[in-house]
Amino acid sequence: MTIYYDQFETWEGSFRELAVDLVGKEAIETLASSNFEFIEDAGDSVVRHTDIETASDAIYDWLLAHEFCVFHGTRLLPDEILSVQRLGLRPLVAADRRQRLTEILKTHPQWHHLEHRLAEVLEDVGPKNKQGRREGQVHFSLSRSGLANGFDHYLSHGSEFDQHVVQRLFGDQSGLHLLHSETVPIIVHVRIGGEELVRGAHPHFSYSDIIGMGEIPGIARVFLNSWAFKIANPSFDIAKLRTDCCMMQRVATPPERIIDLEKFGGRT
């Protein structure tokens, strides 16, 4: 079964088995009768029955044993939707954005005066990493709710890279409305393995590096805290957390790994 973080029923059972093996049934029963104000406190209550390294290792094994759905939010031109269906998602290459941004921005009143600067701006925001640092990357969210209801600027105006380029090109916010009006909001549902999820969620310090710092790695904390808080508060809807848990990849996502292309508010 593919795990959808926002859909607790897709992972509650297997994570419960992990938790029982980790701290025992009595500790889980105590957890279920507890009252926590903050989600972090729920996770900490589990860790107090074991230790950071043991808990992190157990969750790591659980992550590696499962498949997950992650979400990429963007806005696309109609032909780009077809391209994703046929070719999958590719890491951002700044030079490849020139044609699509020209198509989107050509009706801007200042376009003909500034068009000659587009290549320079693309180089600055892309390979020269002067803003955004998105060259060669694809970003995903573990939580669809977080993407759609929390950090939803991807769905309102598309990629952060394009937004940075447009603002630098025109020197103001005047081009952002075209990124919105000329494109379609899309949430790409992608199936990935646990190992990829772990690597993508910790692009700078590895999972083991973070354990060595005396902390439970972020992706493990997300599942541990959410599970424990939900067990203590059964009526709580995890989707309402709008969890900001992102992951990054530097490789293409082949089309066979794409579960769905969701037009925001409906299906494509």
Q: What pLDDT is attached to residue 73?
A: 95
State whether residue 142 is helix, strand or coil. Answer: coil
Q: What is the tens place of the pLDDT at every residue in 220-240? A: 999 999 999 999 999 999 998
Of all residues in the chain, the percent with pLDDT exceeding 70 is: 99
Residue 204 CB contacts under 8 Å (≥ 6 apart), including other chains: none
Cα angle 58, 1, 41; round to 5: 40
Mean pLDDT of the 59-83 span: 96
Contact 66, 11 (CB under 8 A): yes
Q: What is the rounded distance in angstroms from the CA atom of residue 251 to the CA atom of residue 43?
A: 33
pLDDT at 268 over 50: no
Q: In which band, very low, low, confident or very high, does the pLDDT at 265 lie, cut at 50, 70 and 90?
A: confident
pLDDT of residue 133: 80
Q: What is the pTM of this model?
A: 0.94
Residue 110 pLDDT > 50: yes
pLDDT reported for residue 181: 93
> What is the pairing mode between strands 67-76 and 184-193?
antiparallel
Tokens standing for 98? 């020139």
Q: Record the tokens describing residue 60, joined without a space.
A: 């790591």
- What is the mean predicted confidence (pLDDT) over 169-195? 95
Q: Which pLDDT score, from 0 to 100, does residue 130 have?
A: 67
pLDDT at 129: 76
Structure tokens at 221: 């904390």
Instruction: Give residue for tokens 């969701």.
Output: 262
Structure confidence at residue 202 (pLDDT): 96
Averaged pLDDT, 57-80: 97
Indicate if the pLDDT at residue 266 is higher than 70: no
Confidence check: pLDDT of 19 > 50: yes
99 contacts 55 by C-beta, under 8 angstroms: no
